[in-house]
Copies of this chain bind each other. A is one copy, B any other.
Amino acid sequence: MAEDGRSATEIAYKEIRGHLLDRRLPPGAPLREAELASLAGVSRTPVREALRRLDAEGLVELLPRRGARVAPWSEQELEDVFALRLRLEGLGARLAATRASAGEAERLRQLAEAVAIASRRRDARRFDEITRANNAFHAGVLAAAGDDWLRSSVGAVVSRALVRHTFERYRPVDLRRSLAHHHELADAIAAGDPDWAESVMSSHIFAARRVLLSHRAQADRTVAGANE
């Protein structure tokens, strides 16, 4: 757990972020520097720098002189995140349709297909692979948009949303719809139609919002419920 090519700060960042994203460190949990340091196998200094970065990304809350804790979530915030993604990724899709080269459009088609392929897996890594492919597709759209600022803004928002966004609870119909959106989006961008592209992306995010919010509501209703 010691020697990597990566820097200690990056090791700490990745390690802590991983624990945040899969909820091994649940929202609201206190984060002590010494613990995280031994967890990542580095000293407190890189841990502190990683925490600063995670704070800037909104994944943790930094209270002066009182340490850090995993950023908590509210229903309202979750709604707000989707409203933000709607605007930002909508803009991204629009720009991509305007600026994408033929090669980039083709690449988006491949990335969309990659998500579909991942979704046909049936093994343990299925949802990890779907998530990875899905992220790659969305990153591809933003790359085609050619706006670094937009990309970093979306990255900041989505990295927070990622804590919630798991495909495990998608019903088959939801997943099929999501895949169809990807293909349609790739077509819209290839066609160079910004209105179409933005519209599809909006639908895509509205649909995701519905799935994740209803899942959350369901989970809240069945706190001590069945194992599902």
Contact = CB atoms under 8 A, between A and B. Distances in A.
B53 A149 contact: no
A48 B91 CA distance: 34
Given A7-B64, A64-B7, A87-B87, A149 B49 contact: no
Query: Interface residues of A: mostly helix, strand, loop or mixed?
Result: helix
A25 interface: no
Nearest to A56: B56
A153 interface: yes
Interface in A74-97: 76-77, 80-81, 83-84, 87-88, 90-91, 95
B91 A149 contact: no
A11 B90 CA distance: 38
Contact of A88 (B53, B81, B87, B148): B87
A36 interface: no
A85 B142 CA distance: 17
A214 interface: no
A58 interface: yes
Given A48-B49, A52-B49, A57-B56, A150 B80 contact: yes
Given A77-B148, A87-B90, A153-B157, 9 more contacts: A49-B49, A49-B52, A80-B147, A80-B148, A87-B87, A87-B88, A87-B91, A149-B157, A153-B156
